[in-house]
Amino acid sequence: MQDILQLVYMKKIIFFTFSILLSNTLFGQSDSVLFEIHYKITQSGLTTKDLPTIRNSMVLISKNHSLEKDLDRFKADTSYAMKYAEKFFKANPNPNGEISDVQNFLSETMNNYGLDRQIFFDYEKKKYLYFRKMFQAYSYEVTLPKYKWKLVDSTQIIAGYECKKALGTSSSGYELSVWYCDAYHTTYNILGIGNLPGLIVKAVELKSNTTFEITHLQIGSKLFKSLMPKKSILTTKAEMTKLEQEFAKDRNQFFKDHPVQGVTITGN
């Protein structure tokens, strides 16, 4: 049953990829990716005996938007999607007998859909959307916090970048100590942090003792072409939590309870 669901899902992705590619040709160039940045995020334990929690995040920045993805989950989902894409294309070769370019297909699929959790920041609307793909895309909207900054007369070389220091407080109560590099001009940063004169290389959220450190910086992106908003079912944060719990508990039952329009499944 699970294999049937996955193959149905892959077929649905393949069908819609071609229409999305046309859409990208017409509209995608208006918001192309300027930077792809990877961060290591470390949250220290509450006591000295607790081990720190470490995760990795990917931030894509364009002129009007930014997008944040769980990098660890993205890599796992990419590997997972590759497995099923290869299985599908071997079973469904091109008319000329050749097996389709799985890597190219996967690139387009991940660019347009993403099989992971992601946060889309819209700075004109001053809001962000949290997206989750559970057979179809769901999202909820949150107002971006505002930051007040105090620039500090201090410089330091971090990860090979010459950085300047700033201290900030957000409207939601976060306190940040930030090192930024003004050689890279971007208004937007990780977590939707704005109004800094450069790219965040390192940041510490003081209350939670969480550290963000840059591990990779790339001009443009080989995989992601644009940050145009994706279509999704708009819900609330509370409803999203409920949906995620249902999805984690039983994906087959979730599919029955929240069917994808135009898609049916057979089997036990």
User: Which residues, at least 6 apart from 50, have a Cβ–Cβ distance to it below 8 Å?
Assistant: 44
Which residue in the block uniquely carries the two structure tokens 């071609």?
Answer: 18
* Assigned token pair, 60: 């894509």
The answer to pTM > 0.75 is: no
CB 177 within 8 A of CB 169: no
Q: Which residue, chain included where needed, has tokens 């209350």?
A: 207
Count of C-beta atoms within a 10 Å radius of residue 107 = 16
| Highest mean pLDDT, choosing among 6-15, 46-55, 153-162 | 153-162
Q: What is the pLDDT of residues 216-225, one digit of tens each?
A: 999 988 777 7
pLDDT digits (tens, 9 = 90+) for 151-193: 999 999 999 999 999 999 988 888 999 999 999 988 778 887 8
Please tell me the distance from the alpha carbon of residue 103 to that of residue 35, in angstroms, as a whole number.
22
Is 75 in a helix, a strand, or coil?
Answer: helix
